[in-house]
Structure 1
Amino acid sequence: MTTETDFTRPSQFLHLQPFANTYGVTVVDEKPGSVVLEAPYLESLSTLPDLFPTSSIGAVGDMAAISSCMSMLPKGWACATLDFTVKMTGQARGEKLIARGRVLQAGKSFSVGSADVYTVCDGKETLCGVVMATGRNFPLK
């Protein structure tokens, strides 16, 4: 990666992240300040009985929240997660997750984003968790 790397578009950098590939994350929609990600149900990352674990909700929600923050940065900058919080709102059972991330605060040094995470089962979305993430903004070198 160089200072010419454009991390303002999640579709340009998420596929470069090995952990995002492990979760099977794809970018469904991206606009400045918001992003929508999907991740399939993977048995290797599940808990019994056939549930997405909180750690998966957190990881995918964090990617959506921080990606939305990165979409507001100038070209040649990136954002790294400092911390995130996951609040589960229900069971996470379904064929896939959809995480809708948005920027809450786009600062010079730090950004804050959140994501609502839904399970999809037979085409119906159900909120299963909310993630709030803080990231540190920095220039790529």
Structure 2
Amino acid sequence: MKPTDTMPEQVRRAVLAMPMAQTLKLVFRRIDAGCVELEMPLQEAWCFRPGQLQATAIFAAADFAAVAAAGTLLRPGFINATVDASLKIVAPARGSHLVARGRVVKASHWLTVCASDVFAVCNGTETLCATLLGTARNIDTAAP
């Protein structure tokens, strides 16, 4: 990462450098302090039946959005990682793509509670399909 990058840009670069994010074809639509919106196309490889995403793919989008939002509030020299998350699926994930909106619930020195809502988009209409509540561990990269 370039030292001149803003925290949101550092988070975007870090997430999109991950092989899983690349495999899922994640795209950031918005990234601000404490808030993230990302998009993930529906891929048949992630479906458990034609046109309906499996929970694992939904969880991945939700987790990336929530923890990326938490990452936007980190101090310089810190990274973060998921340590706990609970996903509740409330409707089938069908359509052309998912939109996951992550946000920070409560940030602190070592742990950040974060959340996301995931919407399935079909013909331009968003349907809430899942919600996630998670905890990210804030890791000091200079610590031994």
Q: TM-score range by the shorter chain?
A: over 0.9
RMSD of aligned C-alpha atoms? 1.8
Q: What corresponds to 2:106 in structure 1?
A: 105
Q: What corresponds to 2:77 in structure 1?
A: 76
Note the 1:17-32 alignment, pairs <5 A: 17-32=18-33
Structure 2 unaligned residues grouped into runs of 5+: none
* Percent of residue pairs identical: 34
Pairing 1:116–2:114 present: no
Q: What corresponds to 1:8 in structure 2?
A: 7
How high is the TM-score relative to the length of structure 1?
0.92
SS of 1:90 mapped into structure 2: coil
Pairing 1:56–2:69 present: no
Contact 1:117–1:129, Cα closer than 8 Å, also in 2: yes
Q: In 2, Cα distance between the equivalents of 1:75 and 1:42?
A: 36
- C-alpha distance after superposition, 1:107-137 (max 9, x if no partner): 1000110000000000110000001111110
**Residue type of the alignment partner of 2:20:** F
Deviation at 1:55, TM superposition (A): 1.1
Q: Between Structure 1 and Structure 2, how many residues are aligned?
A: 140
- C-alpha distance after superposition, 1:18-38 (max 9, x if no partner): 111111111110110000000
Contact 2:114–2:134, Cα closer than 8 Å, also in 1: yes
Q: In 2, Cα distance between the equivalents of 1:85 and 1:64?
A: 14
Runs of 4 or more above 4 Å deviation: 4-7
Contact 1:61–1:99, Cα closer than 8 Å, also in 2: yes
- C-alpha distance after superposition, 1:46-83 (max 9, x if no partner): 11032111111111100000000010011221110001
Q: What corresponds to 1:133 in structure 2?
A: 134
SS of 1:119 mapped into structure 2: strand
Contact 1:39–1:97, Cα closer than 8 Å, also in 2: yes
Q: In 1, Cα distance between the equivalents of 2:74 and 2:83?
A: 17
Q: What corresponds to 1:67 in structure 2?
A: 68
SS of 2:81 mapped into structure 1: strand
SS of 2:88 mapped into structure 1: strand
Q: In 2, Cα distance between the equivalents of 1:71 and 1:13?
A: 11
Note the 1:81-96 alignment, pairs <5 A: 81-96=82-97
Deviation at 1:6, TM superposition (A): 6.1
Deviation at 1:5, TM superposition (A): 9.4
Q: In 1, Cα distance between the equivalents of 2:85 and 2:56?
A: 11
Structure 1 residues 132 and 126: CA distance shift in structure 2, 3 A: same
